[in-house]
Amino acid sequence: MNTSSPLSIGQTLSSPGGFYELGFFTPNNTRNLYVGIWFKKIVPRVVVWVANRDTLVTNSPANPNISINGSLILLDGEQDLQDTENLVVIDDVSRTTIWQSFKNIGDTMLPHSSLMYDLSHGKKRVLTSWKSNSNPSPGSLSLEIHHCTGSVSYYMIRNFNLSYITLTSEGEMKIYWDQGKKWMHHLTEPEHPCDLYGTCGPFGLCVRSSTPKCICMKGFVPKSDEEWKEGTGQ
């Protein structure tokens, strides 16, 4: 795709090996249009990157193109979707990379992308959840690197090829393996609602069971019985 050949609604751009596809998509139960990248051969569709998270497309004639500031509307360049899922904007003359989606990740991290915390410049690359399952706008939750002096590796995931990590709008980090034409769930963290910080509020204790229950520490009572029953009290 380049400036003389924009992508229209209904058309898609595929990576050379056919692993990934770029095009317009509509989230569940909405009529809003977004430009995104998803796995081409695996169902159900998993969108791994969204170009216009803050600006949905409402008019059908819209065509994504490339822009000089790194969005998908550029006056001088072309786009290429690689088999790493990376969407790359390349200058037609110099053939240098102007912009790439790996450095602008959303709620999903793939094998060749990464989180980043640049101490010298104070820059971060983090996962940011969707607002909801039907709204890819940036949510209030993020997954990022926390710098600790003298930190060492504690847990490592091996054989990460053809898998992905995603941060859900509910605040869960999920890891999936590729099983041919479907995904196999490998891990969810936090694993239990009681693992979430402040689930039962200050001085509240979370009882791990099939249905989590909050109780007060000895000597304390709920501020509001009604809020406590709703799970929002202290």
Spans of all domains in the chain: 12-189, 194-230
What percentage of the chain reaches a pLDDT higher than 90? 6
- State which H helix or E strand residue 50 sits in: strand 47-50
What percentage of the chain reaches a pLDDT higher than 70? 67
List, as one string, the DSSP characters of 89-140.
EE-TTT--EEEEGGGS--SEE-TT---EEETTTTEEE-EEEEEETTEEEEEE
Residue 131 scores a pLDDT above 90: yes
Predicted pLDDT at 202:
76
Tell me: the pLDDT tens digits for 190-203? 888 888 877 787 77
Confidence band (pLDDT; 50, 70, 90) for 92? low
